[in-house]
Amino acid sequence: MAITRRHFLATTTALSAATTAAVLMPYDVIEVQAFSQAATSAPAAATNAPLAVLALNRMGFGPRNGDIAAFNALGSTDTARLAAYVEQQLNPAAINDSMCDAKLAAARLKIQYDAHTDPDPTKSYPARHEALALDTLSQDITALWPRARGVAPYLAWQERVRPANEVRVATWIRAVYSKRQLNEVMADFWHNHFNVNTNSSSVIAATFPVYDRIIRTHSLGNFRTFVKEIAKSAAMMYYLDNVSNKAGGGEGGNENYARELFELHTLGSDNYLKFYDDRGSVGTITYNGQTYVRGYIDRDVYEAARCLSGWTLNNGHWEHPLPDDGTFLFYNDWHDNALKIVLGVQFPYNQGIEDAEQLFDLLCGHPGTARHVCTKLCRRLVSDTPPQTLIDAAVATWMANIGAPDQIKRVLRTILLSGEFRASSGQKVRRPFELVAAYVRGVGADLPIDEVLADPSAGDYWESFFWQYDAAGQPLFEWPTPTGYPDLASYWANTNGMLRRWNLPYLLVQPWGGNMAVDLRAQTDAAVPGGTCIQITDYWISRLCGYSITPGVRTELIHFLAQVAQGGDPNQPPKPMNGEPNTADLITERIEALVQLIAITPDFQRR
Amino acid sequence: MTSRRQFLMGCSAAIASMAGGRVGNLIFANPHAAGPAATTDDILVMVFLRGGCDGLSLVTPYDNPIYVAKRGDPSNGGLAVSGALDLAPNNSTFDSSIGLHPQAAPLKELYDQGHLAIVHACGLDNDTRSHFDAMDYIERGTPGNKNMSSGWLTRHLQCVHPDGTLPTLAAAAAAPISLLGEPDAVAMNDTRSYRLSGGWHYTNNPDPRYKDAMLNTAQTFYTGGDPVLAAGKRTIETIRALSGTTAYTPTTSYPDGDFGDSLQTVAQMIKLNVGLRIATVDLGGWDHHESEGVNDSWGPFNQLAATLSQGLQAFYNDLPAHQSKLTVVVMSEFGRRLGKNLSNGTDHGHGNVMLVLGGQVNGGKVYGTWPGLQDENLDQHEDLKITTDFRKVLSEIVVRRLGNGKLGTVFPGITPQIYASTNRLGIVNGTDMPIDYSSALNPVYLPMARR
């Protein structure tokens, strides 16, 4: 198997941004709280969004035309409406999603490469140029594995990474069109919690539909089950190297996955007691009358790596050549069957595969894991610095349902029905994916559909779309480090990312920039025929934001559309001003600029 | 050096031409307005190697028998470096030869020319083996405390109040944690495309009544102090400042890729004379747990070592007129384990190298004390020990080159022993000043209010 270079840690800071606001230690509380004010203080003078907007922005990617009315029809009070919406969203299978299903079926993504001829016929392949449906999305690991293997018969690189690109397109389509919006938000959350980078190995790219399916299967389910399925996946095996974690020979196994399992997936770095060399001095905590070790030390990571030795794949390795189909393999010859002590618990000799099962039980049952993951959930859904009361409530639900098949769903219900959730308007910054998805939904644009044209270099709209979008700093499934994308305003509020986010509404509709389809002028004329500058501005504010944004910002938008500085009148329809050519195109361009400016407002940059 | 205002008037003719009472709106905020101005106009470029660069392969004790045994003989496919470029360390503590990785030939040239110094067995003296914690501690400048709410470069800038158009540049998609809490830090990976894209009539129309109409409207949205508003405001100021710049033509050949591009952006800003003082550049991808390939042309370490070395040489030689004020520091969060693992890679380790490049660097020497590789001399019996705290290296540059003696503010918790007058490294020229080890910080740092 060709081994692809690791690109871990290819970028910056986010690493620390991601750990910054993790669980607070008591002695840090004062400083951290003050920091959070500095880093994420609430917006100045913005009007609080109504609950419908808050719900649609947090449990989804913002309102489509009609979504706010649909929310408001769910009950007679905010409380009733929110409760009904949360229950609806927590049961995605019961939601009719036929529009999204139709868009997925109609999706086309080009595949294009030249013929390759080689003296070895197994290395040769013909040229290909087609706009294909997303056919790998439903394939299982054995069907996808030939793309991952990199052995005869050889496939073009584009064929090997195709499955990841199909997941990327499907993820955009679902975010924009699916009515199961919370399901999409949670898929995004868990993809980041259990981050893998599709660029770090062709195996990850080739098998990515399987990884995406694992995440979607368990995203509202039981965390312990979830962790095990992730551990067995080809994507995580290759991303964090456990596929080659073999014990013996006097040298160490590979501890990469074991370390991140502790530090990122379960207990979190706030439970890393790096200053302790021996377990005996670490101490204990109690939760609900149960006693637990206080945290983990390096020794626990080393021991966990031994527990996980032999967890690998049927990948054609010479020591276990067949089958070579990418399925999970526990290979006992690589397993360290000696005695181990993890988190103060002695594991018996010769437990084989049960070592890791016991490890997962210990980690997933620990209240430190509950606190680490619940804090991240609250940060995603509520605020960069979620109130401690809310985290405590989420942890309580988590621990009380530790074995429940719908454990995560119950935790989400606790968070989403809380007073803290309802009081959190405007406290999150939209990252690029959330911003663009919200814009596309708000203006009712259609995502591109690739086509084969006479010009072979044209028609690959998705590639252009990703080229433009990725520059904003959040290419999907390509965050290099296992932390996942940062979820804090302090990371995203920077000059480069800000400008890219402002430019995307313009770039993505250009024929060379994504070819997204939307006719803002026709929609304006239909909704507010002959409308004044004030009416048109208010219409597009309501479509994109769903509520009355900061008054001064609204005034400036109206003045732009009317060109008040050139003598225009806000109470008239937009007109060409001095020196401007008197064409319909000009007014169309100005309305398009207005809508882009609404997307540029600080109000739209938050959710 | 031009001030922000002069820069706008001079370099950005397009803006100046539309003047008429508008330039007043364009003066850059200087959040450090109060207090004395900086005492030097030196430039510090911090290059961070993300992922844990294998310093034992970059600056390698290549004929040390313990090293060869633990890394594996290269003639048997092991990870000990073969063909190292022997260096004269000018340092009596080494118990074996020391050499640069063969891909680091450009660094050998800089070393032999006396521009490059190396510090070995250096780093963050903290037990963490976590990338994220280690970077946090280093970049916040507070080992053991990752809740410090500002980066060490931010606090240095607070001390010296630079007054330039663009004093701080992160040549990346986002600013690193060392610049956390610095409201004026500009993050940019490309100067040429740094402009608002929108309908032509309201962005690029040469008619002054309509040109930048969208930008002017957007500017009214972004007033105020919270991070989103401050970042938007800084974005608009930067768009205006850069609108007169042209494409950059370097005088040397940079390596392809993000690292070379980022270094070129920094070089361009230095040559534009816009008051740049601090720049940060990242080179990631060093976390080679598997198939590190230090002796193979396909090897990830091999390729990164080449990119790093070629990039540093191209950058330094591209700036002959600025070398006397330029210091480049290269560091990583930790080194890698002395023994290789069973995947032909190396796991997270401890002590590492730091590189210091510049016109005022006393180069051609390996600084620090070599701790030895015998079991009892290793950290946790596994990893190269740290005999030089990274803050000792940075402190000397902060004091002697950047003219800032407030080490207690830049590195809260630093002890006089770390930068003691009796055992300074002498890695850069410059004047030592009285050092203030007290922390001038309030318990909490808040970004200063904007105008």
The per-residue pLDDT for range B254-310, each reduced to its tens digit, is 999 999 999 999 999 999 888 899 999 999 999 999 899 999 999 999 999 999 999
pLDDT, tens digit (0-9, with 9 covering 90-100), for A162-200: 999 999 999 999 999 999 999 999 999 999 999 999 988
Measured between alpha carbons, how far is B235 from B8 in angstroms, rounded to an integer? 15
Regarding whether B369 and B401 lie in a shared domain, the answer is yes
**Is residue B354, in this structure, part of any structural domain at all?**
yes
- 3 state SS for A234-296: HHHHHHCCHHHCCCCCCCCCCCHHHHHHHHHHCCCHHHECCCCCCHHHCCEEEECCEEEECCE
pLDDT of residue B38: 61
pLDDT of residue A150: 75
* Band of pLDDT at residue A286, cut at 50, 70 and 90: very high
Query: Where is mean pLDDT largest: A242-251, B1-10, B285-294?
Result: B285-294
pLDDT at B15 over 50: no
Gap between the Cα atoms of A323 and B367, Å rounded: 54
Expressed as residue numbers, the domain containing B181 is: 31-195+250-410
DSSP track, B334-382:
--B-SS--TTSS--B-S-EEEEEEETTB--SEEES-----SGGGSBTTT
Q: Is the pLDDT reported for residue A494 higher than 90?
A: no
Could you tell me which residues are beta bridge partners of residue A287? A290
- Find all residues with CB under 8 Å of B20, minimum gap 6, and list them: none
Per the CB < 8 A criterion, the answer to whether A9 and B336 are in contact is: no
**Do residues B370 and B319 both lie within one domain?**
yes
CA–CA distance, B88 with A607 (Å, rounded to integer): 59
B283 within 8 A of B47, measured Cβ to Cβ? yes
Three-state DSSP class for residue A341: strand
User: Model confidence over B344-381: pLDDT tens digits?
Assistant: 999 999 999 999 999 999 999 999 999 999 999 999 89
Backbone φ and ψ for B281, nearest 5 degrees, come out as -135, 140
Confidence of residue A21 (pLDDT cuts 50, 70, 90): very low
Give the nearest partner residue to B284 out of A10, A42, A605, using CB atoms: A10
pLDDT > 90 in chain B, percent: 63
Q: Shortest Cα distance from B416 to chain A (angstroms)?
A: 23
pLDDT band at residue B217 using 50, 70 and 90 as cut-offs: very high
Query: How much is the pLDDT for B242?
Result: 81
Average the pLDDT over each of A306-320, A375-389, A470-484 and give the range with the smallest value.
Answer: A470-484
CA dist B114 and B79 (Å) reads 30
B54's tokens: 């294998």
Q: Per residue in A536-548, pLDDT tens?
A: 999 999 999 998 8
Lowest mean pLDDT among A261-275, A502-516, B165-179, B212-226: B165-179
User: In chain A, what percentage of residues exceed pLDDT 90?
Assistant: 76
Residue B74 lies in a domain: yes
- Name the pLDDT band for B205 (thresholds 50, 70, 90): confident
pLDDT at B162: 82
pLDDT band at residue B20 using 50, 70 and 90 as cut-offs: very low
Task: pLDDT band for A582, please (50, 70, 90 cuts).
Answer: confident
* Residue B20 placed within a domain: yes
3-state helix, strand, coil in chain A (%, to 5): 55, 5, 40
Q: What percent of chain A has pLDDT over 70?
A: 91
Cβ of B172 within 8 Å of Cβ of A44? The answer is no
Nearest CB neighbour to B186, from listed A11, A495, A601: A495
pLDDT over threshold 70, residue B30: no
Is B427 in contact with B117 (CB distance < 8 Å)? yes
Task: Check residues B337 and B18 and name the one with the higher pLDDT.
Answer: B337
Q: Which of A197-206, A443-452, B91-100, B165-174 has the lowest mean pLDDT?
A: B165-174
The proportion of chain B whose per-residue pLDDT surpasses 70, expressed as a percent, equals: 88
Task: Say if residue B5 is in the same domain as residue B108.
Answer: no
Q: Distance between CA atoms of B398 and B38, rounded to whole angstroms?
A: 12
pLDDT of res. B385: 97
- A244, A263, A556 ranked by CB distance to B217: nearest: A556
ipTM: 0.88
Structure tokens at B325: 């004020």
Q: Is residue B436 part of a domain?
A: no
- Asked whether residue B137 falls in the same domain as residue B19, the answer is no
**Whole-angstrom Cα distance, residue B96 to residue B115?**
24
Give the nearest partner residue to A7 out of B189, B285, B290, using CB atoms: B285
pLDDT the model gives residue A47: 56
Please answer yes or no on whether B129 and A30 come within 8 Å at the CB atom: no
Exposure string over B208-240, b if 16+ CB within 10 A, otherwise e? eebbbbbbbbbbebbebbbbbbbbbbbbbbbbb
pLDDT at B183: 66
> Does A255 sit within 8 Å of B284, measured CB to CB?
no
Residue B282 to residues A168, B120, B248, B258, Cα–Cα distance (Å): 27, 20, 20, 9
* pLDDT at residue number B146: 65
Residue B441 pLDDT: 52
Task: Look up residue B251 and give its two tokens.
Answer: 């005088």
**Residue A364 is inside which H or E element, if any?**
helix A354-364
Query: Which residue would you say has higher pLDDT here, A228 or B163?
Result: A228
Structure tokens at A473: 């700093």
- B12 or A211, which is more confident? A211
Average pLDDT taken over every residue of chain A: 89
Residue B31 above 70 pLDDT?
A: no
Q: A420 with A389: CB under 8 angstroms?
A: yes
Contact B228, B279 (CB under 8 A): no
Find the distance separating the first CA and the last CA of chain A, reported in whole Å.
45
For the cut 50, the answer to whether the pLDDT of residue A140 exceeds it is: yes
Best A277, A495, A578 residue to mutate vs chain B (most B CBs within 10 Å)? A495
pLDDT given at position A12? 27
Are A493 and B149 inside 8 Å of each other by CB? no
Instruction: Using the predicted structure, report yes or no on whether residue B33 has a pLDDT greater than 60.
Output: no
Asked if residue B182 and residue B68 are part of one domain, the reply reads yes
Are A257 and A356 contacting, i.e. CB atoms less than 8 angstroms apart?
no
| Among A40, A589, A597, beta carbon nearest to B227 | A40
B69 & B164 share domain: yes
End-to-end CA distance of chain B: 24
pLDDT at A492: 87
Give exposure, B351-361, as e/b (b: 16+ Cβ within 10 Å): bbbbbbbbbbb
Residue A251: which pLDDT band, with cuts at 50, 70 and 90?
A: low
State the pLDDT at residue B28: 33
Phi, psi (deg, nearest 5) at residue B209: -75, -20
pLDDT of residue B1: 36
Q: Check residue B49 and give its pLDDT.
A: 97
Give the integer Cα–Cα distance in Å for B370 and B122.
Answer: 9
Q: How confident is residue A416, by pLDDT bands cut at 50, 70 and 90? A: very high
Distance (Å, whole) CA B306 – CA B428: 26
Cα distances (Å, whole numbers) of residue A347 to A69, A342, A495, B277: 57, 7, 52, 56
Least confident range of A5-9, A117-121, A517-521, B354-358: A5-9
- The conformation of residue B74, written as its DSSP 8-state character, comes to G
Do the Cβ atoms of B227 and A489 come within 8 Å? yes
- Residue of B394, B408, B438, B447 whose CA lies nearest to B149: B447
Same-domain status, B12 and B40:
no
The answer on B122 and B13 residing in a single domain is no
| Residue B258, token pair as written in the block | 């993000």
From B126's Cα to the closest Cα of chain A, the distance in A is 8
How many domains, in total, are found in chain B?
Answer: 2
pLDDT of residue B342: 86
For residue A38, what pLDDT is reported? 34
Quickly list DSSP for B115-134: -EEEEEEEE--S----HHHH
The per-residue pLDDT for range B232-247, each reduced to its tens digit, is 998 998 888 888 777 8
User: Does the distance separating the beta carbons of A481 and B339 come in below 8 Å?
Assistant: no
Give chain B's count of helices (H) and strands (E): 13, 12
| H helix or E strand, kind and range, residue A555 | helix A551-562
Let me know whether B59 and B17 are in one domain: no
| Chain B residues in contact with A596 (beta carbon < 8 A) | 198-199, 214
Whether residue B46 sits in one domain with residue B15: no
Q: Which among B22, B343, B375, B442 is the top mutation candidate for probing chain A, defined by the most A β-carbons within 10 Å of its own β-carbon?
A: B343
Contact A589 B201 (CB under 8 A): yes
Q: Is residue B429 part of a domain?
A: no
Question: What sign results for the dihedral spanned by CA atoms B151, B155, B160, B166?
Answer: positive
- Mapping DSSP to helix (H, G, I), strand (E, B) and coil, where does residue B441 land? coil
Q: Per-residue pLDDT for A596 more than 80?
A: yes
Please name the member of B51, B282, B447 whose beta carbon is closest to the beta carbon of A38. B447
The domain spanning residue B47 has which CATH number?
3.40.720.10
Following CA atoms A479, A252, A246, A313 in sequence, which dihedral angle do they give, to the nearest 10 degrees? Answer: 0
Q: Is the pLDDT higher at B318 or at B415?
A: B318
Q: What is the pLDDT of residue B449?
A: 24
Pick the more confident residue, B440 or B66. B66
Same domain? B284 vs B227: no
Q: How far apart are CA A350 and CA A340, in angstroms?
A: 10
**Inside any domain, residue B421:** no
Look up residue A288 and give its two tokens. 């609900």
From B88's Cα to the closest Cα of chain A, the distance in A is 32
Domain check: are B399 and B341 in the same one? Answer: yes
Residue for token pair 């490309």? B190
Domain ranges (residues) in chain A: 42-90+368-422, 432-605
Three-state SS annotation for A199-222: CCCHHHHHCHHHHHHHHHHHCCCC
Residues of B in contact with A12 (CB under 8 A): 48, 50, 170, 172-177, 282
Residue B316 lies in a domain: yes
**Which residues from chain B sit within 8 angstroms of residue A34, using beta carbons?**
149, 443-444, 446
Q: Who wins on pLDDT, A586 or A6?
A: A586
Confidence band of B55 (pLDDT split at 50, 70, 90)? very high
β-bridge mates for residue B60, sequence order: B99
Whole-angstrom CA distances from A530 to A444, A526, A573, B6, B448 are 21, 9, 6, 47, 48
Q: What is the 3-state secondary structure (H, E, C) of A455-507?
A: CCCCCCHHHHHHHHHHCCCCCCCCCCCCCCCCCCHHHHCCHHHHHHHHHHHHH
Using pLDDT thresholds of 50, 70 and 90, give the confidence band for residue A607: very high
**Chain A residues within 8 A of B209 when measuring between CB atoms:** 565-566, 577-579
The CA-based angle B221-B227-B230, given to 5 degrees, is: 45
B126 contact residues in A (CB cutoff 8 A): 274
pLDDT-wise least confident of A379-388, B223-232, B278-287: B223-232
pLDDT tens digits for A59-100? Answer: 999 999 999 999 999 999 999 999 999 999 999 999 999 999
Residue of A nearest to B290 (CA): A241
Average pLDDT in the B103-127 region?
96
Under the banding of pLDDT at 50, 70 and 90, the label for residue B336 is very high
CA atoms of A382 and A377, how far apart (whole Å)? 8
For residue B416 the two structure tokens come to 């006089």
Average pLDDT, chain B: 85
**Residue A377 has what pLDDT?**
98
What number of H helices and E strands is found in chain A? 29, 8
Question: Does B198 sit within 8 Å of A16, measured CB to CB?
Answer: no
Helix (H, G, I), strand (E, B) or coil at A124: coil
Query: Cβ separation of A498 and B231 shorter than 8 Å?
Result: yes
